Structure 1
Amino acid sequence: MSLANAKVRAIALIAKGEAFINWLYLDSVSKVTIGYGTMLPNADAAVEVDLRHPNKKPATADEKRAEWRRVQAISPAGTDRNYSAQSYRKDAQLFIMESEADHLRAMKLDAFVAELRGIYPGFLSFPEDAQVGLMDMVYNLGPNGLAKKFKNFGRAINHPKGPDWKRAALESNRPQLSAERNKEVKDLFLSAARIAEVEARNQPGRPPARPVRK
């Protein structure tokens, strides 16, 4: 198993589920967001992003802060919003290139992988498919959302006798996402369950495992 390979696969999966938006918008709970779902918690966070004018001229720090504040002022953080990201396009003044969105996504995922190791102590030893599924979930939910809103999911993974991947698959559903994305992640955990079953049967002293039917 390779954590680096799991990250590559997770980035591809995230790209399918998180649309690329190159302007600032408010997510479903009115948090300023850009790129592939990268949340910017405050105006200073926006300063760190390579925001540009439509003519590709780099924005100044003050311009970045002003744009962040303009968008946040539309609705206080924490307030539910039903507007689509596209609705913020007409008033947008600063934008990012897709390469910058890729960079932000990679940085966000790296930070979240570190968080996953704290939430699930056995993370580095999990089957690669499980790691990919967890990366997709934490990217979408955030570490706090994953830990606090998916407690049964967490209990299944941190079970004293070892991860119960079949149970985790059942508990992984995120109602706000598409059925397709939920199925992809569920299938990753079911794959991890099959891998774990084969490994358990192939331990020393046990007869070789028979092929697992899909």
Structure 2
Amino acid sequence: MQQDRMEARTAGWGQRQGWGRRADGLARAGRRPRRVAMGAMLLVAGIAWTAQTLGANTTPVCKLSVCWASEADKLRYECDSGCYFESNPVDVEPEAVCNVMAEATHEGSFSYMYRDSVNLVTTGIGNLLASVDDAVALPFMIEENGVSRRATEQEIRDAYNGLSSQSAECIAGNPRRCNTANSYAGENALRLEEDTINQLCQTRLANEFTPGLHRIYPDFDSYPSKVQAALYDMVYNLGEGGLSPPKWPSFNRAMGRKDWQGAADESNRPQLGTTRNDYVRDLLESAADEEEAGRQRLASCASPGFP
């Protein structure tokens, strides 16, 4: 039991350290990543990386980031460990998640304050400013005669309080009657720098969204990366309270079974556009397909043709 808890705490650690990106960097630099032979185990501070123990009806994903000498060695590791490797894992590092959220088809990224479709003041990558004091706490800048300076507290308060409100029809749910975020660009001269926007997003992931996902889904670290990426999108949009049970009962029942296809079928958010909903559904369906392919590979481990 103690070993299980230790392994659970270390799940995904290698991914967070960016080993996959380092291997990519070595390849781009013309250097060969270290090859790992059959049965290789990565030891970190005396802790062995093993497959994560999931539900009885679930095939666990291998959480080991290495470059294999051959596909046969990789298959042997899967058979020895009883887990499968994702064929195309998704980067769920904070920077990568924020880059996705910053796309126009997701939250978008805005250097100025605007009101969202429910009239809440927002800035950056979907960063809510619940009060004027939240805005004052941020380092908004103003450019004058080609020189940037920090906005004063009063300038920030005036800009926040002076934002045009969304119409009643917009707030009631008619998107055609909403002012777009872009339409607020000319309302004041206050701007956040790109580094500040990115840091705000990554801080929210670290302090709010990632802990929230662990509270909702205690096995989050053991999930396939595509499932993790899908959940980041959902929690960024809905918030922890909006995703937690009893909300989204069918989706969360599927998640409890680790039924990725079932979760995909129940992931549609009516308030969002098709592109963002497709993004999450495709991730979950791909995770289901990869798990099935992994299950079939593991079933072949005892066959005479096993390498």
Q: TM-score, normalised by structure 1?
A: 0.82
Report the equivalent of 1:212: none
* Cα distance in 2 between the residues matched to 1:185 and 1:3: 21
Kindly report structure 1 stretches of 4+ aligned residues shifted beyond 4 Å: 198-203
Does residue 165 of structure 2 align to residue 74 of structure 1?
yes
Quick one: structure 1 residues 208 and 41, their matched pair in 2 at CA, closer, same or farther if it must change by over 3 Å? farther
Quick one: structure 1 residues 131 and 145, their matched pair in 2 at CA, closer, same or farther if it must change by over 3 Å? same
More displaced stretch, 90-99 vs 124-133:
90-99
Report the equivalent of 2:198: 102
Q: Deviations over 1:54-109 (max 9, x none)?
A: 332101233323322333x7369xx5472211222222231112221111111122
Preserved contact between residue 43 and residue 68 of structure 1 (Cα < 8 Å)? yes
2:111 match: secondary structure:
strand
Preserved contact between residue 264 and residue 281 of structure 2 (Cα < 8 Å)? yes
Instruction: Report the Cα offset of residue 118 of structure 1.
Output: 0.4
Does residue 92 of structure 2 align to residue 6 of structure 1?
yes
Aligned counterpart for 2:109 among listed residues 14, 20, 30: 20
Larger Rg: 2
Q: Which runs of 5+ in 1 are unaligned?
A: 210-214
Aligned counterpart for 1:34 among listed residues 110, 123, 134: 123
Preserved contact between residue 3 and residue 128 of structure 1 (Cα < 8 Å)? no
Report the equivalent of 1:150: 248
Instruction: Report the Cα offset of residue 32 of structure 1.
Output: 0.7
Q: Deviations over 1:151-185 (max 9, x none)?
A: 32122112xxx311101111111223332222121
| Superposed CA RMSD | 2.7
Instruction: Report the Cα offset of residue 22 of structure 1.
Output: 1.4
Aligned residues: 203
More displaced stretch, 97-106 vs 59-68:
59-68
Matches within 5 A, 1:1-214: 2-3=15-16, 5-7=91-93, 8-16=95-103, 17-55=106-144, 56-71=148-163, 74=165, 79-80=171-172, 82-110=178-206, 111-147=208-244, 149-158=247-256, 162-200=257-295, 206-208=299-301
* Cα distance in 2 between the residues matched to 1:182 and 1:60: 40
Preserved contact between residue 165 and residue 192 of structure 1 (Cα < 8 Å)? yes
* Cα distance in 1 between the residues matched to 2:209 and 2:234: 10
* Cα distance in 1 between the residues matched to 2:296 and 2:200: 42
* Cα distance in 1 between the residues matched to 2:178 and 2:110: 16
Preserved contact between residue 117 and residue 166 of structure 2 (Cα < 8 Å)? no
Q: TM-score, normalised by structure 2?
A: 0.59
* Cα distance in 1 between the residues matched to 2:156 and 2:112: 11
- In percent, how many aligned pairs have the same letter? 35
1:54 match: secondary structure:
strand
More displaced stretch, 89-98 vs 109-118:
89-98
Quick one: structure 1 residues 75 and 14, their matched pair in 2 at CA, closer, same or farther if it must change by over 3 Å? closer
Q: Deviations over 1:12-64 (max 9, x none)?
A: 32122222211111111111101111111112211221211133210123332
